[in-house]
């Protein structure tokens, strides 16, 4: 189908883009990589009066160390994240997760900020960012504010971004010593989206005891979420296959699983446990320096 008529703007700076977003309000949609918005517009599920293309903004694509964090610009592509030597060395979970997104064409065009702002319940990044406990920076004409990732995803296709805000940056802390992380997913064969995807981060102490854990789940419910019951079942315990299996049983606790033509609710619930266990085991092996 052909999109409904709209006016197009391609600002060159973030400040210019923010002024346009503030001026046009709910009548505007932001275009980054275009993989989410353009299909919706072609189906006329989205009919914005104004399309603000931020893909040409200067200085919004980068991966660099800043004040003890790794800062990633919102227009950084999945391919750039996948191939980043800095991320591979200090936060390999993000590079691994980026490599699991779609196909080569999608990874070379899609952006981190666009992916997060769209908040598809089956997107890959949210699970990893929740496990890593990152910070998300939102910019507006009034300034910037920082949003903890655990407060960012509110519901299906809904985030904590306010009217007039543009997601500008993600800040992640490099993995500490004796920490391992992994992403495991059951992909939908055609799209590559996660029927269920689980990211796990484990930090080990003396004797293999789990000092800290982060587990993010995507694809299971209407939004990605942090599996706090799994984390609680892990902390302070000595890592073992049994501990991972027992903890993984809590992956779907408090969540009403989605059901669609790809998977039933019961199947998703069971796969959440399976893929949580797999992610935990691989994260543990990496924390030991074995993978």
- Identify the pLDDT of residue 88: 98
| pLDDT tens digits, 181-227 | 999 999 999 989 999 999 999 999 988 899 999 999 999 999 999 99
Domain with CATH 3.30.390.50 in the chain: 183-287
8 Å CB contact between 185 and 177 = no
- Identify the pLDDT of residue 246: 98
State which residues of the chain have pLDDT below 70: none
- CA pair distance 80, 191, nearest whole angstrom: 21
- Identify the pLDDT of residue 36: 86
Q: In this structure, which topology does domain 63-172 adopt according to CATH?
A: 3.30.465
- CA pair distance 175, 157, nearest whole angstrom: 29
DSSP conformation letters of 39-61:
HHHHTTS---SEEEE-TT-TT--
For 183-287, the fitting CATH number among 3.40.50.300, 3.55.50.30, 3.30.390.50, 3.40.50.720 is 3.30.390.50
- Identify the pLDDT of residue 207: 87
By CB atoms closer than 10 A (0-12, 13-18, 19+), residue 55 is: middle
pTM value is: 0.96
Domain formed by 7-53, architecture: 2-Layer Sandwich (3.30)
- Identify the pLDDT of residue 1: 76
């Amino acid at each position: 189908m052909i999109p409904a008529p709209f006016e197009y703007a391609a600002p060159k700076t973030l400040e210019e883009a923010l002024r346009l977003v503030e001026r046009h309000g709910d009548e505007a949609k932001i275009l980054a990589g275009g993989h989410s918005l353009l299909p919706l517009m072609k189906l006329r599920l989205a009919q914005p009066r104004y399309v603000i293309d931020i893909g040409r903004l200067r200085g919004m694509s980068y991966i660099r160390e800043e004040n003890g964090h790794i800062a990633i610009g919102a227009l950084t592509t999945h391919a750039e994240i996948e191939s980043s030597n800095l991320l591979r060395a200090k936060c390999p979970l993000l590079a691994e997760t980026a490599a699991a997104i779609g196909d080569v064409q999608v990874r070379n065009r899609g952006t981190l900020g666009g992916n997060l702002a769209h908040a598809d319940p089956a997107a890959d990044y949210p699970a990893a960012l929740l496990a890593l406990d990152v910070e998300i920076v939102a910019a507006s004409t009034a300034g910037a504010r920082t949003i903890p990732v655990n407060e960012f995803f509110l519901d299906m296709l809904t985030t904590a971004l306010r009217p007039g805000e543009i997601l500008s940056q993600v800040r992640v802390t490099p993995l500490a010593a004796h920490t391992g992380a992994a992403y495991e997913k059951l992909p939908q064969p055609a799209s590559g989206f996660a029927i269920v995807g689980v990211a796990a981060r484990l930090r080990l102490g003396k004797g293999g005891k789990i000092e800290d854990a982060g587990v993010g789940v995507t694809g299971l419910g209407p939004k990605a979420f942090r599996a706090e019951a799994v984390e609680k079942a892990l902390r302070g315990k000595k890592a073992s296959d049994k501990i991972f299996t027992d903890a993984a049983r809590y992956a779907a606790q408090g969540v009403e699983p989605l059901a669609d033509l790809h998977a039933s609710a019961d199947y998703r619930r069971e796969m959440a446990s399976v893929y949580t266990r797999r992610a935990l085991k691989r994260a543990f092996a990496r924390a030991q320096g074995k993978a």
